[in-house]
Structure 1
Amino acid sequence: ASLAAKPNRFDEEAKETCLRQSEEKAVPSTCASVGVENSWFQVDAPPSSHANVQAPNPWLQKMIPSASIEIFDGSPRDWPRFIACFKSMVHDALSSDVDRLAVLTQLLSPRLREGFAGLLSTPSMYRQVLQELQQLYGDPVATVQSHANALASVEPLRSE
């Protein structure tokens, strides 16, 4: 049996977190408790059978759920939430790597699209793109450092 056929606690928790965040429209969560399980996008792994997204292509809006997946801009802070939402709402929902790559392309910022242009134009490179994104933005040390930098830049509260 493939991993995609067996729902696990991580998938359900990630989906619930993503849906809750899109419904609440509250201050974005850091999702520090969401681990990034990346075995599903290993290049040597067999292909699985299986947001108000601001996608310019209308057919993409029909392919993915109405819950929102925010555009990934390259912030290590946002990577765990982005990849968890992407897996549960896109990777597990679409059966074709061609479709998955098309959606992934639309969910990357223009700067990232430009940087990955060579890989994004080749459907067989879907898992390679995910691996490279994980290497660049999924480093736990970089994520913690990004959070620390954000906290350090917060203006102190002043009593009046």
Structure 2
Amino acid sequence: MGAIILKKLQVAAWRDELIHIYEDVKDLYHKFATSSRHSVSSIGTSASDVTISTTFSQKRSTRSAPTDPPRQISQLDLHIQKQMLELEVIKGMGEQLGKLIDSSHVTSTEIAANTQLVKESHKTLHDMDQKIEAVKLDLNAQIEGLRTKIGVSKVHLRRKKHVSARSTLKSLEATVLHRRTLLDADTSSREQPSRQLPIMHPACGPSIWDDTSSDTSPEHQPPNGSSNPSHGGCCSRPRTPSFTIQPFDGNPKNYARFKAKFRSLYENEYNGSPDLLFLLEELLSKEVRKEIGECLADGTMYSVVWDCLDAVYGCTEVMDQTYLDDPLQIPPLKSQDAASLKTFTNRLHGAVVTLS
């Protein structure tokens, strides 16, 4: 901006100087024109006088040579021609100066217009900078808001994920401490012999792992036709229910059924016996036993084992996630026949109904 102002000042100074030069040239031109006219008239008068005097002198004397006056006339002509050429040159310079002055006016106008454009451009750039800064501030605020929301969501998810586990661990720790206190206080309970599982005779009914309880063929009936023979009194207690329990494979959807069946079958019959934990361990898959850990090593930790199972497989979040994953576990449809379509539709309908 300062360079443009300096250029304008220089052009204005050059224009003023050219105007003064042009005025001086015009004055010189008028002066030379006036002096040349006077000199021509004086030269004409002197030339006529010289001619007359020359005629008289020729008449007086034929020996004199009339060479000086023509030499003076030729010198005056050369001087006049020189002055005329100088005037033409000065006139051309004046015209060029006039054009230069006119162009200086045009240049000053263009400079003023360009200066205005530069000012407007600077204003536009300033407005754009302000808008960009406003947009940056808005974007930064939105980014910070999103970061805050993400952080809050992460914290909420972590708390929601671990709140049940923490409460379960605290209850397990309290239970373990209580059990240890009871064991230290009552050492006599360890010296009592453990209650052994009664031996089931084939005629007394099926064992807990026998799946032939519903078989009524003659080879499974007692020889004497009685369903309750006397063989040591082992059949005096209530018979084991005729259904069996499938081992728990770690699927949270099967946990509630497994727990209800196990407790209804064995807890009443082996109430307080360490054999309950042995039975429970035998009905757990290898993966589930690894998940439970060292709780299975102590026969007095039966209730603690159930607490661990409840925390891992009976938690509401785990069940919800399992049912959410069910539609993803449905195998893709490989053929378009009626049987495949029916099977796929039933599986998908069951998963959707469970979610609803």
| In structure 2, C-alpha distance between the alignment counterparts of 1:52 and 1:154, rounded to whole Å | 33
* 2: CA distance, partners of 1:135 / 1:102: 20
Structure 1: 5+ residue stretches without partners = 1-42, 45-50, 55-62
1:76-95 map, 5 Å: 76-95=252-271
Aligned mates of 2:293, 2:317 — CA distance in 1: 27
Offset at residue 141 of structure 1 (A): 2.7
Q: Structure 1 residues 142 and 105 mapped into 2: Cα distance closer, same or farther (>3 Å)?
A: same
Change (3 A) 1:154 1:115: closer
Summarize deviations over 1:5-36 as a string: whole Å, max 9, x none. Answer: xxxxxxxxxxxxxxxxxxxxxxxxxxxxxxxx
Aligned-pair CA distance for 1:65: 4.0
Q: Report the residue type matching 2:294 in the other structure.
A: G
Render the CA deviation track for 1:61-107: whole Å, top value 9, x for unaligned: xx964422111122211111111111111223322330211110101
- Residue 159 of structure 1: CA displacement? 5.3
Q: How does 1:11-160 map to 2 (within 5 A)?
A: 43=175, 53=209, 65-155=241-331, 158=336
Hey, what's the Cα distance between the residues in 2 that align with 1:115 and 1:149?
Answer: 21
Check the 8 A contact 1:97/1:126 in 2, yes or no. no
Separation (CA, whole Å) in 2 of partners of 1:142 and 1:115:
15
Tell me the CA shift for residue 129 of structure 1: 0.7
Distance 1:113 1:155, change over 3 A: closer
- 3-state DSSP class of the match of 1:123? coil
TM-score of the superposed pair, with normalisation by structure 2: 0.26
1:27-68 CA-to-partner distances (Å, cap 9, x unmatched) read xxxxxxxxxxxxxxxx57xxxxxx8538xxxxxxxx964422
* Structure (1 or 2) with the larger CA radius of gyration: 2
Shift of 1:153: 2.5
SS, match of residue 116 in structure 1: helix
Superposed displacement of residue 123, structure 1: 0.9
Flag the 1:116–1:86 CA change in 2: closer, same or farther, 3 A.
same
Q: Distance in 2 between matches of 1:77 and 1:145?
A: 11
TM-score relative to the length of structure 1: 0.54
SS in 2 for 1:97: coil
Report the Cα distance in structure 2 between the residues aligned to 1:112 and 1:106, rounded to whole angstroms.
11
1:72–1:108: 8 Å Cα contact kept in structure 2? yes
Report sequence identity in percent.
Answer: 28
Q: CA RMSD in A?
A: 2.9
Instruction: Quickly say closer, same or farther: Cα 1:147–1:52, change in 2 above 3 A.
Output: farther
One-letter amino acid of the structure 1 residue matched with residue 309 of structure 2: L
Whether the 8 Å CA contact 1:77–1:146 is kept in 2: the answer is yes
* Structure with greater contact order relative to length (CA < 8 Å, sep ≥ 6): 1
Q: Check whether the contact 1:53–1:66 (CA below 8 A) recurs between aligned residues.
A: no
Asked if structure 1 preserves the Cα contact closer than 8 Å seen for 2:292 and 2:308, the reply is no
Letter in 2 for 1:89: L
Distance, in Å, in 2 between the alignment partners of 1:125 and 1:108 is 16
Kindly provide the amino acid, as one letter, of the partner of residue 324 in structure 2.
Answer: A
Instruction: Please name the residue that 1:9 is paired with.
Output: none
* Higher relative helix content: 2
Partners of 2:292 and 2:309 within 8 A in 1: no
Q: Secondary structure at the match of 1:81?
A: helix
Please identify, of 113-122 and 74-83, the stretch whose mean Cα deviation from structure 2 is larger. 113-122
